[in-house]
Amino acid sequence: MFPEASIKRPPADALPLGAKIAILRTQDEFAVSASGFLPARHLAPLANHEPDFVAVAERFAGVPYLWGGKTSLGLDCSGLVQVALAACGNACPRDSDMQEKALGKPANLAGLQRGDLLFWKGHVAIALGRNSMIHANAFHMAVAIEPVAEALARIGAAGSQVTSVRRLK
């Protein structure tokens, strides 16, 4: 968000994906809110939703890990899942233990599919397919894409095993 209708000014604020903004009017290529000016082409009506929560999660690859984070400044594992699902219009609890209880139907590692959620005690990851996953984690200190087998081995060596796999569709 900018203090005036110019992208050459220092930003007044950085808004997270999914921020709800009341637009007062438009001016040139900007939407004007009570707090500042936003490039109008970066806004969408509330009724618009992203079609693929996995693709939304992938946009955050490389974002720093931040416990409790839910923005491009930093994310934790359950925040990544919550933000990605919310962008698609799907309600999602905040913490991984609540997500494990509330989301999807049981699935298994052998049949892992894109969009399946993998849960450990205090952690969640999103399957990108049978062999890779994305998750915000303290090992990489970032949102990272990695092979499922490597993550399972590393997390298992630290004493944690997968508690469930949940399929959302």
Question: Each residue of 114-152: pLDDT tens digit?
Answer: 999 999 999 999 999 999 999 999 999 999 999 999 999
Start-to-end Cα distance in the chain = 36
pLDDT confidence band for 168 (50 / 70 / 90): very high
Strand-pair category, 164-167 with 117-120: antiparallel
Annotated active-site residue in 42, 49, 77, 92: 77
Catalytic residue among 49, 88, 123, 140: 123
Instruction: Determine whether 140 is an active site residue.
Output: no
pTM: 0.92
49 assigned to active site: no
Evaluated on CA atoms 50, 51, 57, 63, the torsion sign reads negative
Tell me the pLDDT tens digit for each residue of 50-87. Answer: 999 999 999 999 999 999 999 989 999 999 999 999 99
Sign of CA dihedral 149, 136, 119, 58: negative
